[in-house]
Amino acid sequence: MKLAISISGNRLDAPFDPRFGRAVAFCLVDSETGEWTVHANPALSATGGAGVQAAQFIAKLGAQAVVSGAYGPNAFETLSSAGIELYLAPASESLTAADVLALFKAGKLSKPEAATRPGQHGGGR
Amino acid sequence: MRIVVASGKGGTGKTTIATSLALVAAEQEAVRLLDCDVEASNAALFLHPEFNQRKEVGILLPVVDEMLCTHCGRCAEVCQFHAIAVIGKKTLIFPELCHGCGSCRLNCPEKAIHEQLDGMGVLESGLTSSGIAFAQGVMNVGEPMAVPIIRELKKWQSDANPAAAHLQLEQFQLEIRDAPPGASCPVVETLHGADFAILVTEPTPFGLHDLKQVVKICRELGIPAGVILNRDGIGDDAVEKYCAENELPILMRIPMERRFAEAIASGKTLVEAAPEFRASFRALLETIATRVTA
């Protein structure tokens, strides 16, 4: 399965970034083969709608699942509509993308049933 | 001529100045006053217009016709605000991110997008007993964005509304806009297109800090500005130094006096409470007219 993990670096051993829309980058990793690539998040400096933009980006990358630390309402809706499975990992400074992959493989990540936080800036407009 | 009364810091006396300026100006010319503080309009409390016109305003939100949409993704690509996402065979619209710019509709190759008004507030207008054409915007509770309402308020004219002929552009000589506090988009929108900005401040570090921000906006927009120093006598002389260094004329001073505060708290305008200011406002109008035409 192709998994997109939000990270704050450019390698599989980079720290996990618990933000979704404002993640520095996404590590796209194949959970079977372990092959990985890193993609800078185009929504990082968006003035608004970062969650929507990041979700579309992940969908275009062909990810089937995503791991982050929190999802806003727009990101949740966009990812769900795209049929991407959402997973949550704890916001821990010592966690790397490789650790998150191991947790995923071990079935230790939870799935949110709805957005895990409210939208920001009262909607942004 | 269009004069904006702005401040930066809230509570410095924008409405105190705007209402008295309108009253004095209305003795000699046709005046309209726009209360552009659509999040907390209060000029009507002092001028008591009889509202007889009302209009719902907002932005135009896109609506996608699923029968025509081919999910090509062009609308999502052109949306600067990420308010549209095209995912597979679905087009998602996020109304709270939309600015109503219309780019999606214009760029849709299938003409599958039409627009529908998303009401964000109302405009109200009417005459005051002193003959001022008064109009205000009132934003709906919970709306995050004031700019579309201010934009509509500024251009509200009798074309679509024949009964509101007193608001027609050609029929007034002076427009006074009471600005919202702060230095963000609603203030920029209020200032946009003005001929002069009266910046009301108080001689305190807070007054100065926020004044500087509004001065920068005026300079960016190329709008000449002058300062009214309210509660003169308190604080320090930093505002005066700043004005001198930046060639900002101090147009008027209103001393810190309890009787002004009491009058305003009971709904009276400054010139009603202190008629001696009538001459100051008359002189202010002349000063501004000279500066604008020069």
* pLDDT given at position B206: 96
* pLDDT given at position B88: 85
- Percentage of residues in chain A with pLDDT exceeding 70? 95
The residue among B18, B21, B20 whose CA lies nearest residue B34 is B18
Contact status, residue B127 vs residue B30, Cβ threshold 8 Å: no
Long-range contacts for B104-111 (Cβ within 8 Å, ≥24 apart)? B104/B62, B104/B75, B104/B78, B104/B79, B105/B62, B107/B74, B107/B75, B107/B78, B108/B74, B108/B75, B109/B72, B109/B74, B110/B68, B110/B69, B110/B70, B110/B72, B111/B68
* pLDDT given at position B166: 53
Question: Does B42 score more than 60 pLDDT?
Answer: yes
* pLDDT given at position B158: 46
Please check whether residue A45 touches B, CB under 8 A: no
| Contact partners, residue B203, CB within 8 Å, separation at least 6 | B229, B231, B232, B233, B234, B235, B236, B237, B238, B239, B240
In degrees, rounded to 5, the angle at the alpha carbon of residue B204 between the alpha carbons of residues B35 and B248 is 65
C-alpha dihedral over B35, B188, A21, A16, to 10 degrees?
-120
Query: How far is the first Cα of chain B from the last one, in angstroms, to the nearest whole number?
Result: 13
Across B99-122, average pLDDT: 95
Q: Determine how β-strand A2-7 pairs with β-strand A65-68.
A: parallel
Question: Does B111 score more than 60 pLDDT?
Answer: yes
* pLDDT given at position B236: 95
CB contact under 8 A, B82 and A48: yes
- Percentage of residues in chain B with pLDDT exceeding 90? 85
CB contact under 8 A, A74 and B94: yes
Across B96-117, average pLDDT: 94
In the three-class reduction of DSSP (H, G, I as helix; E, B as strand; rest coil), residue B12 is classed as coil
Q: What ipTM was assigned to the predicted interfaces of this complex?
A: 0.81
* B168: confidence class by pLDDT, cuts 50, 70, 90: low
- For an interface test with B, give the residue of A45, A86, A120, A125 to mutate (most B CBs within 10 A): A125
Query: DSSP of A17-39, one letter per residue?
Result: ---STT-SEEEEEETTT--EEEE
The CA distance from B146 to B124, in Å, is 15
CB contact under 8 A, A52 and B82: yes
* pLDDT given at position B258: 95
* pLDDT given at position B167: 52
Average pLDDT over chain B reads 93
CB contact under 8 A, B82 and A46: yes
* pLDDT given at position A56: 94
* B121: confidence class by pLDDT, cuts 50, 70, 90: very high
Contact status, residue B198 vs residue B3, Cβ threshold 8 Å: yes
- For an interface test with B, give the residue of A52, A53, A58, A86 to mutate (most B CBs within 10 A): A52
Average pLDDT over chain A reads 91
* B164: confidence class by pLDDT, cuts 50, 70, 90: low
* pLDDT given at position B175: 94
More confident residue, B162 or A56: A56
In this structure, what token pair is assigned to residue A28? 């796209």
In the three-class reduction of DSSP (H, G, I as helix; E, B as strand; rest coil), residue B247 is classed as coil
Across B84-112, average pLDDT: 93
Sign, CA dihedral B211-B217-B219-B222, equals negative
* pLDDT given at position B163: 53
- Percentage of residues in chain B with pLDDT exceeding 70? 95
Query: Pick from A82, A83, A123: which is nearest to B97 by CB?
Result: A123
- Percentage of residues in chain A with pLDDT exceeding 90? 82
